[in-house]
Chain A
């Protein structure tokens, strides 16, 4: 197990290095730079020259990259041109917000999607199963951007939930944590609903294949009640497909959260990266990409662990 974890950590370190380096190089090669983005048509002024000189944008890409790399080795990822703050200070505060959102969405999607998948995949769901299937297809068809807009619209019209932001005001009714949870509902639901639909579809497919297997028939023949066969034996056996995509889902949540964070004013990594890209803040782009790679690595690790839990054969 230790060797397995060591391999995974090495892979994660390589992933972070490759992704952040690639992001920095691509952002630097993209047309325009921080001075053009910041100063607009006055990008040839003396002020633009000073900005380029201050952030090394007037140096060749190779020299800039080499310097960034040598500093990154000492965990100094440079200074954000946009915010004038060290990247290593900016990333954790935003990445943590994204992690909370992603974890909440993942938990909600899992708790909703898997049981519904069991119901629709059992073949005995009747009309409710058909409605769930239709709902899943509809949610899968809608991009997170649309789901977010709809939920924000719903929140605005019903006035039941805050329209956006992260809340946490100490003066709010019920305290800061309750206020935070109320603000979390809309963005988490926007991310969780399409994900729950995906889990439902995967689990449903796996269930319908599992219950056709002979061990299910044998269990029923031994007189074990159908619900017990379904929710214990078949459910566990059908979990493998969902567990195997968990890691990818974490990565997807990060990228999918870009749109959701913008629409719902959630101050996460997605919003930060969008601003960084728009302003060609190359060090911040590299930092955000590195954080994304860390998310992906953690997700992959979670996926492997989950898979090992539901299918002991993978440990061999």
Chain B
């Protein structure tokens, strides 16, 4: 061996050795930096539901903080739901409000005061007693927009933010400035934080910077069913049972049922489903894409996984035009592009059967407005549902265009396969009636900048609009002309049209009414006005499918994310198959 060859060999060996040595050091330091002791099992054994074991779930994006008050993304929210409890919880399966930290509540006759009785003997995971002071602190923190809270908007009830007082350590009174029909439902938005840990941060307006991802797990204290035991950045979060958790099941046994819950970060959805099929994870935290249904059905038929059809979803992707007054000044299309007739023609020109078959591979139902049939309580079946009639649509287009070519661009988010397919269907269907659509795919931030930036520059967009609650009164941002999610013409100082003014008035009435029947009538009227003017066009709502491993034994599926994990304290794994295959 010559000197140069020896040198080269030594060089490669050094590279290898460095890599291996570094890997070892890295693993060891990670483990040492974030490990804390796991809490002991309280020793209670229920008879009904299997107890113990580990559940592994996946998320596609990492949480960005452990502080739910400063971020509202789905992963941060999931982690918060594991670590924290709230006064009440909306049951995602029934949409009913159920007690959590508050065991009961009453409403005053004028509908302005809610008195909530807190559970006795509840303690945080660090052993500190929970009292009404923690509730007052948490709602003060939620309302502190200047301190960085993102929850202030979620607490808006009618005319403003409720006031909270505590006449005694186990009673909280919520006072509204005007009647608000959903009442305590809004309390599901705010996790209760430990005042004894975070009061200084609120006082110094630094709440936004506490409980970041670099916080040692032992420094987090919560009332939720789990405590964080280990966090490996970019990889996973390991939670163990919170021995102080206060909820018991019908048998009187302490929840949660699981000993451990592991949240793995798997950014790619294809890899996520392969991991599910391989048994590496037990469930995903989002619904199955239409194109994944067939392979998952085969896996389900082979007994590898469980595939659940939860029915039609609450939300459908939507198309809307830029209806801002003056948006098309100087544009030759100004005479027709903002007219109701254009949107009415489009809704008649789209064959919703073709749409459902192409975009959702058959797993969707036609819809004509923002409230889908899944929302049984608020869906107005009597609202107009235009029939598929391309000839009438073409005649309507010709009547408003006056011989001009009808052409507009449609912005869609890049990388969302179902939405990109929908863009193609809209383009093809409208071509049949002589309308040219230029589908433009943009990345999320660029699209939002065009559609919802300070000066919106777009003709039309097709995108996802999610409602934050099934009760319409909790979604004023979409319905009210002053709303920040009133996408066709946002944040109007005064309503731009008479029908928007009418919706504003009806909305205010239904949100304040304590008569449920009246609320339904008023909201049905709103849906009829909406259908007549079609400011946002809806075509098909997808069916929601979710998949889990056959180990998962006790879930109550809900239609909103995380469909199988909205109540993590009640999820269990089958004892016969609790042991995961050794990999």
Contact = CB atoms under 8 A, between A and B. Distances in A.
Interface of A: 30-33, 36-37, 39-47, 50, 54, 82-85, 89, 93-94, 96-97, 99-100, 103-104, 106-107, 110-111, 149, 152-153, 155-157, 159, 161-166, 168, 170, 173, 176-177, 180-182, 184, 232, 235-236, 239, 262-265, 267-268, 271-272, 275, 278-280, 305-306, 309-310, 312
A205 B157 CA distance: 74
B266 A165 contact: yes
Given A36-B452, A278-B443, A100 B22 contact: yes
Contacts of B443: 32, 278
Nearest to A266: B234
A43 B264 contact: no
Residue in A37, A83, A85, A163 whose Cβ sees the most chain B Cβ within 10 Å: A163
B145 A84 contact: no
B232 A168 contact: yes
B6 to A, nearest CB: 9
Given A45-B484, A152-B274, A159-B278, 13 more contacts: A31-B445, A36-B449, A42-B485, A44-B490, A153-B274, A156-B275, A156-B277, A156-B280, A162-B583, A163-B271, A168-B235, A232-B2, A280-B445
Interface string B1-33: 110110110011001101100111011101100
Nearest to A233: B2
B515 interface: no
Interface string B143-176: 0011010100100000000000000000000000
A278 B445 contact: yes
A43 B463 CA distance: 15
B275 A42 contact: no
Interface in B438-452: 442-452
Considering the complex of A and B, which 10 residue pairs feature the smallest CB-CB distances, nearest first?
Answer: A267-B234, A32-B445, A32-B449, A37-B445, A31-B446, A103-B19, A156-B274, A156-B278, A36-B448, A163-B275
17 contacts: A31-B449, A36-B449, A41-B487, A43-B448, A44-B453, A44-B484, A47-B145, A94-B234, A100-B23, A103-B18, A168-B30, A170-B31, A176-B27, A262-B267, A268-B234, A279-B445, A309-B7
Contact of B208 (A41, A84, A271, A309): A84
B260 to A, nearest CB: 10
Contacts of A96: 22, 26
B504 interface: no
Given A236-B4, A265-B271, A163 B278 contact: yes
Contacts, number: 208
Given A47-B145, A232-B2, A309 B212 contact: no
A33 B267 CA distance: 22
Nearest to B9: A309
A168 B448 contact: no
Contacts of A170: 31, 35
B236 interface: yes
A102 B266 CA distance: 20
Contacts of B335: none
Interface string B99-134: 000000000000000000000000000000000000
Nearest to A162: B583
A104 B15 CA distance: 9
